[in-house]
Structure 1
Amino acid sequence: MQESSHKAGFVSIIGRPNVGKSTLMNALVGEKLSIITSKAQTTRHRIMGILSGPDFQIVYSDTPGVITPKYELQKSMMSFVNASLEDADVILWVVDVTEEDINEELFKRVLHSEVPVIFLLNKIDLIGEVEAEKRLEVWKTKVKALHYLPVSAISKKNIDLVLGLIIQQMPVHPPYFPADELTDKTQRFFAAEIIREKIFLHYDKEVPYSCEVAIIEFKEDKKIIRIQAEIYVERTSQRSIIIGKGGAAIKQVGIEARKDMEAFFGKQVHLETYVKVETDWRKRDSQLRKFGYNNS
Protein backbone atom coordinates (compact mmCIF):
# COMPACT_ATOMS: atom_id res chain seq x y z
CA MET A 1 0.00 0.00 0.00
CA GLN A 2 1.24 3.50 -0.77
CA GLU A 3 2.59 5.67 2.04
CA SER A 4 -0.10 8.31 1.37
CA SER A 5 -2.86 5.91 2.49
CA HIS A 6 -1.04 4.54 5.54
CA LYS A 7 -2.86 5.12 8.83
CA ALA A 8 -1.13 5.75 12.14
CA GLY A 9 -2.15 7.22 15.47
CA PHE A 10 -2.19 7.08 19.25
CA VAL A 11 -4.79 5.34 21.42
CA SER A 12 -5.13 6.19 25.10
CA ILE A 13 -6.51 3.38 27.28
CA ILE A 14 -8.03 4.89 30.41
CA GLY A 15 -10.26 3.82 33.26
CA ARG A 16 -10.40 3.37 36.99
CA PRO A 17 -7.78 1.22 38.73
CA ASN A 18 -8.25 -2.53 38.36
CA VAL A 19 -10.60 -2.54 35.35
CA GLY A 20 -8.24 -4.66 33.24
CA LYS A 21 -6.58 -1.96 31.10
CA SER A 22 -3.20 -3.67 31.14
CA THR A 23 -4.68 -7.04 30.17
CA LEU A 24 -6.57 -5.28 27.39
CA MET A 25 -3.46 -3.62 25.93
CA ASN A 26 -1.53 -6.88 26.10
CA ALA A 27 -4.38 -8.57 24.21
CA LEU A 28 -4.53 -5.80 21.59
CA VAL A 29 -0.77 -5.83 20.99
CA GLY A 30 -0.39 -9.60 21.30
CA GLU A 31 2.49 -9.35 23.80
CA LYS A 32 2.73 -9.03 27.58
CA LEU A 33 4.06 -5.49 27.94
CA SER A 34 2.18 -4.30 31.04
CA ILE A 35 2.36 -6.11 34.36
CA ILE A 36 -0.87 -7.64 35.60
CA THR A 37 -1.96 -8.33 39.18
CA SER A 38 -5.27 -8.39 41.01
CA LYS A 39 -4.25 -5.33 43.04
CA ALA A 40 -5.32 -1.82 42.03
CA GLN A 41 -2.86 0.88 40.90
CA THR A 42 -0.26 -1.61 39.67
CA THR A 43 0.56 0.50 36.58
CA ARG A 44 2.59 3.59 37.45
CA HIS A 45 3.97 4.71 34.09
CA ARG A 46 2.68 5.33 30.59
CA ILE A 47 3.60 2.20 28.67
CA MET A 48 3.29 2.27 24.89
CA GLY A 49 2.46 -0.88 22.97
CA ILE A 50 2.94 -0.67 19.19
CA LEU A 51 0.91 -2.73 16.73
CA SER A 52 1.99 -2.45 13.10
CA GLY A 53 0.18 -3.84 10.06
CA PRO A 54 0.87 -3.49 6.33
CA ASP A 55 -1.18 -0.29 6.13
CA PHE A 56 -1.53 0.90 9.73
CA GLN A 57 0.28 1.48 13.00
CA ILE A 58 -1.50 1.84 16.35
CA VAL A 59 0.40 3.15 19.35
CA TYR A 60 -1.49 2.16 22.49
CA SER A 61 -0.86 3.83 25.83
CA ASP A 62 -1.58 1.87 28.99
CA THR A 63 -1.74 4.41 31.82
CA PRO A 64 -2.32 4.35 35.58
CA GLY A 65 -5.92 4.04 36.73
CA VAL A 66 -7.52 7.46 37.15
CA ILE A 67 -7.70 8.57 40.79
CA THR A 68 -7.68 11.81 42.75
CA PRO A 69 -3.97 12.08 43.67
CA LYS A 70 -3.03 12.36 47.35
CA TYR A 71 0.77 12.50 47.24
CA GLU A 72 3.61 13.21 44.79
CA LEU A 73 3.87 9.76 43.20
CA GLN A 74 0.16 9.73 42.42
CA LYS A 75 0.41 13.25 40.94
CA SER A 76 3.12 11.99 38.61
CA MET A 77 1.01 8.97 37.69
CA MET A 78 -1.90 11.25 36.73
CA SER A 79 0.48 13.39 34.64
CA PHE A 80 1.09 10.29 32.49
CA VAL A 81 -2.68 9.99 31.99
CA ASN A 82 -2.93 13.64 30.92
CA ALA A 83 -0.03 13.26 28.48
CA SER A 84 -1.62 10.23 26.82
CA LEU A 85 -4.90 12.10 26.38
CA GLU A 86 -3.12 15.09 24.83
CA ASP A 87 -1.55 12.81 22.20
CA ALA A 88 -4.61 10.63 21.60
CA ASP A 89 -6.36 10.19 18.28
CA VAL A 90 -8.76 7.70 19.93
CA ILE A 91 -9.68 7.02 23.56
CA LEU A 92 -10.57 3.57 24.81
CA TRP A 93 -12.66 4.22 27.94
CA VAL A 94 -12.67 0.96 29.91
CA VAL A 95 -15.09 0.05 32.70
CA ASP A 96 -15.67 -3.39 34.13
CA VAL A 97 -18.91 -5.21 34.86
CA THR A 98 -18.85 -4.29 38.57
CA GLU A 99 -18.96 -0.53 37.91
CA GLU A 100 -22.19 1.42 38.06
CA ASP A 101 -21.22 5.04 38.69
CA ILE A 102 -19.17 7.45 36.60
CA ASN A 103 -15.73 8.36 37.92
CA GLU A 104 -15.93 12.17 37.86
CA GLU A 105 -12.16 12.63 37.65
CA LEU A 106 -12.04 10.36 34.60
CA PHE A 107 -15.18 11.87 33.07
CA LYS A 108 -13.65 15.38 33.15
CA ARG A 109 -10.50 14.19 31.41
CA VAL A 110 -12.42 12.46 28.62
CA LEU A 111 -14.82 15.39 28.20
CA HIS A 112 -11.97 17.85 27.63
CA SER A 113 -10.13 15.63 25.15
CA GLU A 114 -12.51 16.17 22.19
CA VAL A 115 -11.36 13.01 20.36
CA PRO A 116 -13.41 9.92 19.39
CA VAL A 117 -14.25 7.65 22.34
CA ILE A 118 -14.79 3.90 22.12
CA PHE A 119 -16.47 2.71 25.31
CA LEU A 120 -15.59 -0.83 26.42
CA LEU A 121 -17.36 -2.89 29.07
CA ASN A 122 -14.66 -5.34 30.15
CA LYS A 123 -14.72 -8.68 32.03
CA ILE A 124 -17.97 -9.86 30.42
CA ASP A 125 -16.72 -13.43 30.90
CA LEU A 126 -17.85 -12.98 34.52
CA ILE A 127 -21.51 -12.34 33.71
CA GLY A 128 -22.30 -13.59 30.20
CA GLU A 129 -23.19 -11.73 27.02
CA VAL A 130 -26.92 -11.21 27.68
CA GLU A 131 -26.34 -9.51 31.02
CA ALA A 132 -23.41 -7.57 29.52
CA GLU A 133 -25.65 -6.11 26.82
CA LYS A 134 -28.16 -5.01 29.48
CA ARG A 135 -25.46 -3.23 31.47
CA LEU A 136 -24.03 -1.65 28.35
CA GLU A 137 -27.44 -0.17 27.53
CA VAL A 138 -27.42 1.53 30.94
CA TRP A 139 -23.96 2.96 30.29
CA LYS A 140 -25.16 4.39 26.98
CA THR A 141 -27.46 6.70 28.95
CA LYS A 142 -24.54 7.95 31.06
CA VAL A 143 -21.60 8.24 28.68
CA LYS A 144 -21.34 9.72 25.20
CA ALA A 145 -19.14 7.64 22.90
CA LEU A 146 -18.74 6.87 19.21
CA HIS A 147 -19.01 3.11 19.81
CA TYR A 148 -19.97 0.85 22.74
CA LEU A 149 -18.68 -2.70 22.93
CA PRO A 150 -18.72 -5.55 25.48
CA VAL A 151 -15.31 -7.27 25.69
CA SER A 152 -13.26 -9.73 27.67
CA ALA A 153 -9.56 -8.96 27.63
CA ILE A 154 -8.76 -12.30 29.26
CA SER A 155 -10.65 -14.47 26.74
CA LYS A 156 -10.04 -11.92 23.93
CA LYS A 157 -13.77 -11.75 23.22
CA ASN A 158 -14.48 -8.96 20.67
CA ILE A 159 -10.85 -7.78 20.70
CA ASP A 160 -10.76 -8.08 16.90
CA LEU A 161 -13.82 -5.80 16.70
CA VAL A 162 -12.08 -3.20 18.86
CA LEU A 163 -9.11 -3.24 16.50
CA GLY A 164 -11.37 -2.67 13.50
CA LEU A 165 -13.11 0.29 15.15
CA ILE A 166 -9.78 1.86 16.07
CA ILE A 167 -8.37 1.55 12.55
CA GLN A 168 -11.47 3.30 11.19
CA GLN A 169 -10.63 6.35 13.31
CA MET A 170 -6.88 6.46 12.65
CA PRO A 171 -5.69 9.48 10.64
CA VAL A 172 -3.67 9.05 7.47
CA HIS A 173 -0.08 9.35 8.64
CA PRO A 174 3.30 7.63 8.15
CA PRO A 175 4.36 5.18 10.89
CA TYR A 176 5.73 6.78 14.06
CA PHE A 177 7.96 3.80 14.88
CA PRO A 178 9.80 1.10 12.91
CA ALA A 179 7.49 -1.80 12.06
CA ASP A 180 9.40 -4.28 14.23
CA GLU A 181 9.21 -2.21 17.43
CA LEU A 182 6.71 -3.34 20.07
CA THR A 183 7.17 -0.62 22.68
CA ASP A 184 8.91 2.64 23.54
CA LYS A 185 10.35 1.23 26.76
CA THR A 186 13.84 -0.18 27.32
CA GLN A 187 14.87 -3.67 28.39
CA ARG A 188 15.89 -2.23 31.75
CA PHE A 189 12.36 -0.90 32.24
CA PHE A 190 10.79 -4.30 31.62
CA ALA A 191 13.27 -6.06 33.88
CA ALA A 192 12.26 -3.68 36.69
CA GLU A 193 8.55 -4.13 35.94
CA ILE A 194 8.81 -7.92 36.04
CA ILE A 195 10.37 -7.74 39.51
CA ARG A 196 7.75 -5.25 40.65
CA GLU A 197 4.98 -7.55 39.41
CA LYS A 198 6.35 -10.39 41.56
CA ILE A 199 6.42 -8.07 44.57
CA PHE A 200 2.75 -7.22 44.04
CA LEU A 201 1.92 -10.92 43.75
CA HIS A 202 3.82 -12.04 46.87
CA TYR A 203 3.27 -9.29 49.44
CA ASP A 204 0.14 -7.82 51.00
CA LYS A 205 -1.24 -4.53 52.26
CA GLU A 206 0.94 -1.42 51.81
CA VAL A 207 4.26 -3.15 51.13
CA PRO A 208 4.01 -3.46 47.29
CA TYR A 209 2.86 0.15 46.97
CA SER A 210 5.88 1.31 48.97
CA CYS A 211 8.30 -0.51 46.65
CA GLU A 212 10.18 0.74 43.61
CA VAL A 213 12.71 -1.18 41.52
CA ALA A 214 15.82 0.28 39.90
CA ILE A 215 18.07 -1.68 37.53
CA ILE A 216 21.65 -0.72 38.34
CA GLU A 217 23.34 -3.15 35.95
CA PHE A 218 22.15 -4.74 32.70
CA LYS A 219 24.93 -6.52 30.82
CA GLU A 220 24.08 -8.67 27.83
CA ASP A 221 26.21 -11.02 25.78
CA LYS A 222 25.34 -13.77 23.31
CA LYS A 223 24.26 -16.33 25.90
CA ILE A 224 23.30 -14.52 29.09
CA ILE A 225 22.00 -11.26 30.55
CA ARG A 226 23.41 -10.24 33.94
CA ILE A 227 21.09 -7.99 35.91
CA GLN A 228 21.52 -6.28 39.26
CA ALA A 229 18.39 -4.72 40.73
CA GLU A 230 17.76 -2.55 43.77
CA ILE A 231 14.36 -2.77 45.48
CA TYR A 232 13.57 0.36 47.45
CA VAL A 233 11.12 0.51 50.36
CA GLU A 234 10.14 3.36 52.66
CA ARG A 235 10.74 1.79 56.10
CA THR A 236 13.16 -0.65 57.71
CA SER A 237 10.25 -2.88 58.75
CA GLN A 238 9.24 -3.19 55.08
CA ARG A 239 12.78 -4.21 54.18
CA SER A 240 12.54 -7.09 56.65
CA ILE A 241 9.22 -8.17 55.12
CA ILE A 242 10.58 -8.09 51.58
CA ILE A 243 13.62 -10.16 52.53
CA GLY A 244 11.66 -12.63 54.66
CA LYS A 245 12.93 -15.15 57.17
CA GLY A 246 16.37 -16.31 56.14
CA GLY A 247 15.95 -14.47 52.82
CA ALA A 248 13.27 -16.92 51.67
CA ALA A 249 10.78 -14.32 50.42
CA ILE A 250 13.18 -12.31 48.27
CA LYS A 251 14.68 -15.55 46.94
CA GLN A 252 11.25 -16.65 45.68
CA VAL A 253 10.67 -13.26 44.04
CA GLY A 254 14.04 -13.58 42.32
CA ILE A 255 13.36 -17.12 41.07
CA GLU A 256 10.00 -16.16 39.54
CA ALA A 257 11.26 -12.87 38.12
CA ARG A 258 14.26 -14.56 36.50
CA LYS A 259 11.99 -17.18 34.91
CA ASP A 260 9.74 -14.50 33.40
CA MET A 261 12.73 -12.45 32.25
CA GLU A 262 14.17 -15.45 30.42
CA ALA A 263 10.84 -15.96 28.65
CA PHE A 264 10.57 -12.23 27.85
CA PHE A 265 14.16 -11.70 26.64
CA GLY A 266 14.61 -15.18 25.13
CA LYS A 267 17.93 -15.65 26.86
CA GLN A 268 19.41 -16.98 30.09
CA VAL A 269 19.32 -14.44 32.92
CA HIS A 270 21.48 -14.10 36.03
CA LEU A 271 19.64 -11.87 38.53
CA GLU A 272 20.89 -10.32 41.76
CA THR A 273 18.57 -8.27 43.99
CA TYR A 274 19.32 -5.90 46.86
CA VAL A 275 16.79 -4.28 49.19
CA LYS A 276 17.35 -0.69 50.36
CA VAL A 277 15.43 1.83 52.46
CA GLU A 278 14.64 5.28 51.00
CA THR A 279 12.40 7.03 53.50
CA ASP A 280 9.14 8.46 52.07
CA TRP A 281 10.39 8.20 48.48
CA ARG A 282 6.80 8.42 47.15
CA LYS A 283 6.49 11.96 48.53
CA ARG A 284 9.89 13.35 47.50
CA ASP A 285 10.37 14.96 44.09
CA SER A 286 14.11 14.24 43.99
CA GLN A 287 13.56 10.52 44.49
CA LEU A 288 10.69 10.39 42.02
CA ARG A 289 12.86 11.95 39.32
CA LYS A 290 15.56 9.38 40.10
CA PHE A 291 13.03 6.61 39.48
CA GLY A 292 11.84 8.11 36.19
CA TYR A 293 8.73 9.98 37.28
CA ASN A 294 8.11 13.47 35.97
CA ASN A 295 6.59 15.88 38.49
CA SER A 296 7.26 19.09 36.64
Structure 2
Amino acid sequence: KKGVCANYAAVFSAIANELNIKTFIVEGYTKQFGKISNLSHAWCASKIDNKWYVFDPTWGSGYVNNMIYTRKIDNSYFKTNPNISITNHMPFDYLWQFLNYPITNDNFYNNKFQIDKTKIYFDFESEILKHENSSAEQKNLESAVRIEKNGLKNKMISDYLSEKKALVTFDNLNKISNDYNAAILEFNDYVAFRNKQFKPNISDIDLKKMIQTPRDKFIDCQERLSKVVDVDAQNIQNLKGLKQSLIQILPQVEEQLAFVNEYLSKNNFKRKGMFTKITLFGLKLN
Protein backbone atom coordinates (compact mmCIF):
# COMPACT_ATOMS: atom_id res chain seq x y z
CA LYS A 1 0.00 0.00 0.00
CA LYS A 2 1.11 3.56 -0.75
CA GLY A 3 0.23 6.75 1.07
CA VAL A 4 1.19 10.27 2.01
CA CYS A 5 1.84 11.68 5.48
CA ALA A 6 -1.89 11.90 6.34
CA ASN A 7 -2.28 8.21 5.56
CA TYR A 8 0.75 7.26 7.67
CA ALA A 9 -0.62 9.33 10.55
CA ALA A 10 -4.12 7.86 10.18
CA VAL A 11 -2.82 4.28 10.35
CA PHE A 12 -0.57 5.05 13.33
CA SER A 13 -3.39 6.83 15.17
CA ALA A 14 -5.89 4.03 14.51
CA ILE A 15 -3.52 1.34 15.82
CA ALA A 16 -2.49 3.36 18.88
CA ASN A 17 -6.06 4.19 19.87
CA GLU A 18 -7.05 0.54 19.44
CA LEU A 19 -4.34 -0.21 21.99
CA ASN A 20 -5.89 2.38 24.34
CA ILE A 21 -3.05 4.83 23.79
CA LYS A 22 -4.71 8.20 23.42
CA THR A 23 -3.49 9.58 20.11
CA PHE A 24 -4.33 12.59 17.96
CA ILE A 25 -3.40 13.43 14.40
CA VAL A 26 -1.66 16.81 14.28
CA GLU A 27 -1.56 19.00 11.18
CA GLY A 28 1.03 21.66 10.54
CA TYR A 29 4.18 22.43 8.60
CA THR A 30 7.83 21.52 9.03
CA LYS A 31 11.42 22.61 8.73
CA GLN A 32 14.27 20.48 7.39
CA PHE A 33 17.90 21.49 7.09
CA GLY A 34 16.93 24.98 8.27
CA LYS A 35 14.42 25.45 5.45
CA ILE A 36 10.64 25.76 5.80
CA SER A 37 8.81 23.20 3.68
CA ASN A 38 6.20 24.59 1.31
CA LEU A 39 3.96 21.55 1.90
CA SER A 40 1.77 20.99 4.93
CA HIS A 41 2.39 17.85 6.97
CA ALA A 42 0.61 15.50 9.36
CA TRP A 43 1.99 13.55 12.30
CA CYS A 44 0.77 12.11 15.60
CA ALA A 45 0.88 12.81 19.30
CA SER A 46 0.28 10.17 21.97
CA LYS A 47 -0.16 10.33 25.72
CA ILE A 48 1.95 7.69 27.46
CA ASP A 49 2.22 7.51 31.26
CA ASN A 50 0.54 10.92 31.55
CA LYS A 51 3.05 12.59 29.26
CA TRP A 52 2.67 13.69 25.65
CA TYR A 53 5.09 12.54 22.95
CA VAL A 54 5.29 13.28 19.25
CA PHE A 55 5.52 10.57 16.59
CA ASP A 56 6.13 11.13 12.90
CA PRO A 57 5.61 7.76 11.16
CA THR A 58 6.27 9.36 7.75
CA TRP A 59 9.66 10.86 8.54
CA GLY A 60 10.53 7.87 10.67
CA SER A 61 10.09 5.49 7.71
CA GLY A 62 12.31 7.19 5.16
CA TYR A 63 13.07 10.40 3.30
CA VAL A 64 12.79 12.01 -0.13
CA ASN A 65 15.83 13.41 -1.90
CA ASN A 66 15.71 14.78 -5.45
CA MET A 67 12.16 13.45 -5.80
CA ILE A 68 13.31 9.92 -4.97
CA TYR A 69 12.01 8.17 -1.85
CA THR A 70 14.50 6.18 0.19
CA ARG A 71 13.23 3.77 2.83
CA LYS A 72 15.26 4.26 6.01
CA ILE A 73 14.09 3.84 9.60
CA ASP A 74 14.85 6.90 11.73
CA ASN A 75 13.90 6.50 15.40
CA SER A 76 14.61 10.14 16.19
CA TYR A 77 11.02 10.81 15.14
CA PHE A 78 9.68 8.16 17.52
CA LYS A 79 8.39 9.22 20.95
CA THR A 80 9.96 12.67 20.74
CA ASN A 81 9.60 15.19 23.54
CA PRO A 82 7.45 18.17 22.46
CA ASN A 83 10.20 20.67 23.31
CA ILE A 84 12.41 18.82 20.79
CA SER A 85 9.84 18.18 18.08
CA ILE A 86 8.85 21.85 18.02
CA THR A 87 12.23 22.67 16.43
CA ASN A 88 11.11 21.01 13.19
CA HIS A 89 7.36 20.29 13.50
CA MET A 90 5.07 23.34 13.84
CA PRO A 91 1.38 22.62 14.42
CA PHE A 92 -1.09 25.01 12.82
CA ASP A 93 -2.94 25.10 16.15
CA TYR A 94 -0.61 25.76 19.09
CA LEU A 95 -2.76 23.53 21.30
CA TRP A 96 -0.82 20.62 19.80
CA GLN A 97 2.60 22.00 20.69
CA PHE A 98 2.05 20.56 24.19
CA LEU A 99 3.94 23.53 25.63
CA ASN A 100 2.89 25.80 28.48
CA TYR A 101 4.52 28.71 26.67
CA PRO A 102 3.76 28.07 22.98
CA ILE A 103 6.00 29.55 20.34
CA THR A 104 4.65 31.69 17.52
CA ASN A 105 5.09 31.09 13.82
CA ASP A 106 7.58 33.96 13.79
CA ASN A 107 9.57 32.16 16.51
CA PHE A 108 9.59 28.99 14.42
CA TYR A 109 10.85 30.82 11.33
CA ASN A 110 13.57 32.55 13.35
CA ASN A 111 14.66 29.48 15.35
CA LYS A 112 13.64 31.05 18.66
CA PHE A 113 12.68 28.06 20.77
CA GLN A 114 13.66 29.22 24.25
CA ILE A 115 10.90 29.35 26.87
CA ASP A 116 9.48 32.83 27.33
CA LYS A 117 7.82 32.95 30.75
CA THR A 118 6.78 36.56 30.24
CA LYS A 119 3.94 35.15 28.14
CA ILE A 120 0.64 34.03 29.62
CA TYR A 121 0.81 30.47 30.94
CA PHE A 122 -1.10 28.08 28.67
CA ASP A 123 -2.59 25.04 30.40
CA PHE A 124 -2.66 22.78 27.37
CA GLU A 125 -3.72 19.74 29.41
CA SER A 126 -6.98 21.36 30.53
CA GLU A 127 -7.50 22.81 27.04
CA ILE A 128 -7.11 19.37 25.45
CA LEU A 129 -9.64 17.97 27.93
CA LYS A 130 -12.00 20.82 27.05
CA HIS A 131 -11.39 20.10 23.36
CA GLU A 132 -12.31 16.44 23.78
CA ASN A 133 -15.60 17.36 25.46
CA SER A 134 -16.59 20.06 22.97
CA SER A 135 -18.87 19.84 19.94
CA ALA A 136 -17.30 19.71 16.49
CA GLU A 137 -18.40 23.30 15.89
CA GLN A 138 -16.83 24.52 19.12
CA LYS A 139 -13.59 22.63 18.41
CA ASN A 140 -13.27 24.27 15.00
CA LEU A 141 -14.20 27.70 16.33
CA GLU A 142 -11.65 27.66 19.16
CA SER A 143 -8.98 26.18 16.91
CA ALA A 144 -9.54 28.99 14.39
CA VAL A 145 -9.06 31.58 17.14
CA ARG A 146 -5.77 30.01 18.24
CA ILE A 147 -4.48 29.67 14.66
CA GLU A 148 -5.18 33.32 13.90
CA LYS A 149 -3.72 34.45 17.21
CA ASN A 150 -0.42 32.70 16.49
CA GLY A 151 0.17 34.59 13.25
CA LEU A 152 -0.60 33.84 9.60
CA LYS A 153 3.00 33.56 8.54
CA ASN A 154 2.47 31.59 5.33
CA LYS A 155 -0.17 30.40 2.88
CA MET A 156 -0.33 26.94 4.45
CA ILE A 157 -1.51 28.48 7.73
CA SER A 158 -3.95 30.82 5.98
CA ASP A 159 -5.43 27.97 3.95
CA TYR A 160 -5.83 25.80 7.04
CA LEU A 161 -7.51 28.66 8.88
CA SER A 162 -9.90 29.12 5.95
CA GLU A 163 -10.78 25.42 6.15
CA LYS A 164 -11.53 25.72 9.87
CA LYS A 165 -13.69 28.80 9.35
CA ALA A 166 -15.56 27.07 6.52
CA LEU A 167 -16.29 24.13 8.84
CA VAL A 168 -17.57 26.53 11.50
CA THR A 169 -19.82 28.20 8.92
CA PHE A 170 -21.07 24.85 7.65
CA ASP A 171 -21.94 23.67 11.17
CA ASN A 172 -23.61 26.98 11.93
CA LEU A 173 -25.70 26.94 8.75
CA ASN A 174 -26.64 23.32 9.38
CA LYS A 175 -27.96 24.18 12.84
CA ILE A 176 -29.91 27.15 11.52
CA SER A 177 -31.34 24.99 8.72
CA ASN A 178 -32.46 22.37 11.24
CA ASP A 179 -34.15 25.04 13.37
CA TYR A 180 -35.80 26.48 10.26
CA ASN A 181 -37.16 23.07 9.31
CA ALA A 182 -38.47 22.54 12.84
CA ALA A 183 -40.25 25.90 12.65
CA ILE A 184 -41.77 24.96 9.27
CA LEU A 185 -43.23 21.77 10.77
CA GLU A 186 -44.68 23.75 13.67
CA PHE A 187 -46.14 26.37 11.35
CA ASN A 188 -47.69 23.67 9.20
CA ASP A 189 -49.28 22.18 12.32
CA TYR A 190 -50.77 25.59 13.09
CA VAL A 191 -52.11 25.95 9.52
CA ALA A 192 -53.75 22.53 9.68
CA PHE A 193 -55.31 23.44 13.02
CA ARG A 194 -56.59 26.76 11.70
CA ASN A 195 -58.18 25.02 8.71
CA LYS A 196 -60.11 22.97 11.27
CA GLN A 197 -61.25 26.26 12.81
CA PHE A 198 -59.11 25.60 15.87
CA LYS A 199 -60.95 22.39 16.72
CA PRO A 200 -60.79 20.56 19.06
CA ASN A 201 -60.71 23.45 21.50
CA ILE A 202 -57.48 24.34 23.27
CA SER A 203 -56.68 27.13 25.69
CA ASP A 204 -56.00 30.62 24.37
CA ILE A 205 -52.47 30.37 25.77
CA ASP A 206 -51.75 27.16 23.84
CA LEU A 207 -53.27 28.60 20.67
CA LYS A 208 -51.09 31.69 20.86
CA LYS A 209 -48.08 29.47 21.47
CA MET A 210 -48.81 27.46 18.30
CA ILE A 211 -48.05 30.47 16.11
CA GLN A 212 -45.73 32.43 18.41
CA THR A 213 -43.23 29.58 18.78
CA PRO A 214 -42.50 29.05 15.05
CA ARG A 215 -42.55 32.80 14.49
CA ASP A 216 -39.88 33.33 17.16
CA LYS A 217 -37.79 30.52 15.68
CA PHE A 218 -37.94 32.10 12.22
CA ILE A 219 -36.87 35.47 13.65
CA ASP A 220 -34.04 33.79 15.56
CA CYS A 221 -32.87 32.04 12.38
CA GLN A 222 -32.91 35.33 10.51
CA GLU A 223 -30.87 37.09 13.21
CA ARG A 224 -28.31 34.29 13.33
CA LEU A 225 -27.98 34.30 9.54
CA SER A 226 -27.20 38.02 9.62
CA LYS A 227 -24.17 37.25 11.80
CA VAL A 228 -22.71 34.53 9.58
CA VAL A 229 -19.34 35.62 8.20
CA ASP A 230 -16.41 34.00 6.40
CA VAL A 231 -18.71 32.28 3.92
CA ASP A 232 -16.84 30.28 1.28
CA ALA A 233 -18.13 29.38 -2.17
CA GLN A 234 -19.35 26.00 -0.94
CA ASN A 235 -21.58 27.55 1.74
CA ILE A 236 -22.76 30.70 -0.03
CA GLN A 237 -25.64 28.99 -1.83
CA ASN A 238 -26.93 27.48 1.41
CA LEU A 239 -26.78 30.90 3.03
CA LYS A 240 -28.66 32.57 0.16
CA GLY A 241 -31.25 29.78 0.09
CA LEU A 242 -32.00 30.09 3.80
CA LYS A 243 -32.24 33.87 3.63
CA GLN A 244 -34.63 33.71 0.69
CA SER A 245 -36.80 31.08 2.38
CA LEU A 246 -37.13 33.27 5.47
CA ILE A 247 -38.00 36.31 3.37
CA GLN A 248 -40.84 34.29 1.82
CA ILE A 249 -42.21 32.64 4.97
CA LEU A 250 -42.04 35.45 7.53
CA PRO A 251 -44.80 37.67 6.05
CA GLN A 252 -47.15 34.65 6.08
CA VAL A 253 -46.28 33.89 9.68
CA GLU A 254 -46.70 37.51 10.78
CA GLU A 255 -50.09 37.59 9.07
CA GLN A 256 -51.18 34.52 11.01
CA LEU A 257 -49.86 35.92 14.28
CA ALA A 258 -51.93 39.05 13.69
CA PHE A 259 -54.95 36.84 12.92
CA VAL A 260 -54.55 34.89 16.17
CA ASN A 261 -54.12 38.09 18.19
CA GLU A 262 -57.34 39.47 16.69
CA TYR A 263 -59.10 36.14 17.19
CA LEU A 264 -58.15 36.03 20.86
CA SER A 265 -59.39 39.59 21.35
CA LYS A 266 -62.97 38.60 20.40
CA ASN A 267 -65.70 36.72 22.23
CA ASN A 268 -66.64 33.18 21.22
CA PHE A 269 -69.52 34.27 18.96
CA LYS A 270 -67.40 36.69 16.91
CA ARG A 271 -64.54 34.20 16.67
CA LYS A 272 -66.64 31.79 14.59
CA GLY A 273 -67.07 34.31 11.79
CA MET A 274 -63.38 34.84 11.24
CA PHE A 275 -62.54 31.64 9.38
CA THR A 276 -61.67 31.14 5.74
CA LYS A 277 -59.57 28.19 4.61
CA ILE A 278 -55.88 28.85 3.95
CA THR A 279 -53.05 26.87 2.35
CA LEU A 280 -49.84 28.39 3.58
CA PHE A 281 -47.77 25.25 3.94
CA GLY A 282 -44.07 25.98 3.85
CA LEU A 283 -41.52 23.87 2.06
CA LYS A 284 -38.87 22.08 4.08
CA LEU A 285 -35.27 22.55 3.09
CA ASN A 286 -33.19 19.48 2.33
Shared fold (TM-score, shorter chain, > 0.5): no
Q: Which has the higher strand share?
A: 1
Shorter-chain TM-score: which interval? under 0.3
Q: With the length of structure 2 as denominator, give the TM-score of the two structures.
A: 0.25
Q: Which has the higher contact order (CA 8 A, sep 6+)?
A: 1
Q: Which has the higher helix share?
A: 2
Q: With the length of structure 1 as denominator, give the TM-score of the two structures.
A: 0.24
